[in-house]
Amino acid sequence: MIITCPNCNKQFKIDNSLIPDEGRDLQCGSCNHTWFYNIQEKNNEVLELKQEIISEDIETKAENKEDKIEEEQQPEEIIKNEINIKKKEENSEKQKNTTTLKKTENKGSKFFSYLVVFIISFVALIILLDTLKTPLINVFPGLEIILFNLFETLQDIKLFIIDLI
Does this model's pTM top 0.75? My answer is no
Break the chain into its structural domains and give their ranges: 1-39, 62-118, 132-165
Length of the chain: 165
Could you read off the pLDDT tens digit of each residue along the chain, which spans 165 residues?
Answer: 788 888 888 888 888 788 888 888 888 888 888 888 887 744 344 455 555 555 555 666 666 666 666 555 566 666 777 777 877 777 777 776 665 555 555 667 888 989 999 999 999 998 998 899 889 889 998 888 998 898 899 899 999 999 998
3-state secondary structure 54-67: CHHHHHHHHHHHHH
> Residue 4 is inside which H or E element, if any?
strand 2-4
Residue 132 and residue 142 in contact, taking contact as beta carbons nearer than 8 Å: no
